[in-house]
Amino acid sequence: MAGSSFGKNFVVTTWGESHGKAVGAVIDGCPAGIELSEEDIQKYLDRRKPGQSDMTTARKEDDKAEILSGVFEGKTTGTPISVMIRNSDQHSADYSNIKDVYRPGHADYTFQKKYGIRDYRGGGRSSGRETVGRVMGGAVAAKILSSLGIKATAYTLSVGDIKAENIDLSMINENPLFMPDNEAAKRAEEYIRECRENNDSVGGVIECRITGMPVGIGETVFDKLDANLAKAMLSIGSVKGFEIGSGFEAAKKNGSENNDPFYADEDGNINKKTNNAGGVLGGMSDGSDIVFRIAVKPTPSIAREQKTVEESYGPDGKPAKKAQDSKIEIKGRHDPVIMPRAVVVAESMAMITIADLLLSGMSSRIDSVVERYTE
């Protein structure tokens, strides 16, 4: 099955493996007439770059995005936008120690069983490297959204038990964890260093907030805005949960608390007094901010010894000998937390989702159709 595309009318297809020649995305269905440059995309890619602080791996990735199609004289033409980054020269490392061993918390085992073959040099398509293509797509989606005054902002809400308390979005870029609370960020950094010294990692929560939404984006049954956001988020590796608005708290509440009363201002504009809904009613945006959170698991690659199994395969793709218990220590430098680099990925997937539903919703009324095609 072909599972590398996301969206229906604004479609992002990603390709490429961590240890392959290149990674990239094809973005199809982008409206014509949008100003788009490589800098627009690079800006987003730079936010997921490692090595910006000691909160992420020191590995150097000198990613430079190249737009190969779909843009003419600085504007999108309505044709597919192909963007690519060459992977840095892969030094011929010795992978023999992980070739036949499944890393716990990784997709090595499932990949091998599904396909009978896997690129054992890294996570392949299950590597975080794949998200480069998502960020490329997100950067293009951002241009569509900004034309409509819509803006998505993701940030780290918590690291382990340490939570941003006094949320101030202006602080997000002031600390390496992208937390909207510098003080909490400081404590979190401390804790992360501690984890790393213990050859361990830690999880956290990312929150995303989308402002400027028109009412009615999202379809009423299966392609609900929140359903598509949930899929978008869980499609990011390491994400184990999604909640919108009051989320899992809603499960403990009474209806009288959880319902958001409507009110009208003097001009007759309708709004909600609270936003337990998280900006979505019946799968459609209600004009309030979209607010959702995702649970990110701790980095599975840790330096301490872990129990696992080893199993080797012959050239015919069949197991060469019976699996047996083994141990593994994952070498190399790995991010002790995933959030800092995943923030822009979550934001990107959110923007792609919104852009797709915006374009898909153009024809909800016959009046709009008539207006579009007659002058």
* Given 59, 64, 88, 117, the residue binding a second copy (CB under 8 A): 117
Q: What is the distance between the alpha carbons of residues 320 and 318, in angstroms, rounded to a whole number? A: 6
CA distances from 217 to 50, 198, 295, 321 (A): 35, 46, 25, 54
Q: Is 170 in the site for a second copy (CB under 8 A)?
A: no
Pairing of strands 81-86, 75-76: unpaired
**Binding of a second copy by 314 (CB under 8 A):** no
Calculate helix-pair angle for 131-147, 339-360, nearest 10 degrees: 50
Q: Which of residues 339-358 bind a second copy (CB under 8 A)?
A: 357-358
Give CA–CA dist 341/335, Å, rounded: 9
Q: Find out whether 351 and 12 touch, Cβ atoms under 8 Å.
A: no
Q: Which residue, 193 or 304, is less far from a second copy as judged by CB?
A: 304
CA–CA dist 265, 241 (Å, integer): 36
Segment lying near a second copy (by CB under 8 A), choices 41-49, 51-59, 182-190, 215-223 = 215-223
Report the distance separating Cα 32 and Cα 154, nearest Å. 27
Q: Which position among 152, 179, 195, 354 is part of the footprint of a second copy (CB under 8 A)?
A: 195
141 binds a second copy (CB under 8 A): no
Number of residues that bind a second copy (CB under 8 A): 177
Hey, which residues between 74 and 93 contact a second copy (CB under 8 A)?
75-82, 84
Cβ proximity of 343 and 178 under 8 Å: yes
Q: Does 255 bind a second copy (CB under 8 A)?
A: yes
Whole-angstrom distance, CA of residue 189 vs CA of residue 178: 11
Tell which positions 259-278 bind a second copy, by CB under 8 A: 259-264, 267-270, 273, 276-278
Return the number of the residue (170 or 252) whose C-beta is nearest a second copy.
Answer: 252
Site for a second copy in 142-161 (CB under 8 A): 144, 147-149, 158, 160-161
Least Å distance, CB 123 to a second copy, is 8
> Minimum CB separation from a second copy for residue 170, in Å?
24
Q: Which stretch binds a second copy (CB under 8 A): 37-45, 50-58, 179-187, 254-262?
A: 254-262
Looking from the CA of 315 toward its CB, the CA atoms found within 13 Å total: 0
Least distance to a second copy, CB of residue 73, Å:
8
* Under rule CB under 8 A, residue 222 binds a second copy: yes
The only residue of 48, 298, 348, 351 in contact with a second copy, by rule CB under 8 A: 298
CB of 79: closest distance to a second copy in angstroms? 5
Judged by DSSP in three states, 23 sits in: strand
Total Cβ atoms within 10 A of residue 5: 13
Hey, what amino acid is at 45? L
